[in-house]
Amino acid sequence: MRLIPPEALPYFENMIYLPMVLTILERDRELVEKGPFKLKGPYVKLIDGAVKHARAELKQTKLYLQRHHMKVIRNKMDDTFTEYLFIHGGYEDYRRYLNVRLRNRTEELLNMYFAMIESEVSR
């Protein structure tokens, strides 16, 4: 018997990854603003578009979690793993994620958001 339904897992993981994506995008935007770029506008526009999409997805995720009485709590962290507690319907599920996997998935999401912006611009 599974305590956490499989359809809930993507929402739990969005609550892990999307805040990371937003943190990276916001830091990168600051670097572009302060950096020695000749034309900052295109970079800022790309980053802002990705932030807009990630925030919208995070908002939907938070609504889903709230409606389904779900919660994610970051627990223990070391050099190799980060542990999260998923709470759903009174059940608790501890899951450990490799830090390398967290980084790689965050990078995949960044690429996905940048590709979304690129496809919107090319229309």
| pLDDT 10s digits, 14-72 | 999 999 999 999 999 999 999 998 999 999 999 999 999 999 999 999 999 999 999 99
Between CA 50 and CA 96 the distance in angstroms is: 28
Measured on CA atoms in the order 78, 3, 67, 114, is the torsion positive or negative? positive
Query: Which helix or strand (DSSP H or E) is residue 86 part of?
Result: strand 81-88
pTM of the model: 0.90
Between CA 55 and CA 67 the distance in angstroms is: 18
Which segment of 1-10, 16-25, 79-88 scores lowest on mean pLDDT?
A: 1-10
Residue 86 has pLDDT above 60, yes or no: yes
| For the chain, domain boundaries | 6-121
Q: pLDDT band at residue 3, thresholds of 50, 70 and 90?
A: confident
